[in-house]
């Protein structure tokens, strides 16, 4: 999880939480949508 978040420094805390709850890998694409 931390690796995926690290790719997007602008990712908000909310996306990080959603990411952990949504999937194990949490692809950067999902983070971009949250952003």
Mean pLDDT of each 10-residue bin along the chain, 35 residues long: 55 58 56 52
Considering its fold, how many domains does the chain have in total?
A: 1
User: Which residue reads 């999902």 in tokens?
Assistant: 30
pTM: 0.16
Q: Name the H helices within the chain.
A: 2-7, 13-22, 28-34
Q: Which residues constitute the domain of residue 24?
A: 2-34
Q: Residue 35: CB partners within 8 Å, gap ≥ 6?
A: 8, 10, 11, 12, 15
pLDDT, position 18: 58
Angle at 16 (CA atoms; ends 35, 23), nearest 5 degrees: 105
């Amino acid at each position: 999880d931390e690796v995926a978040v690290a790719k997007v420094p602008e990712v908000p805390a909310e996306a990080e939480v959603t990411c952990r709850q949504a999937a194990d890998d949490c692809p950067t694409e999902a983070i971009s949508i949250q952003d």
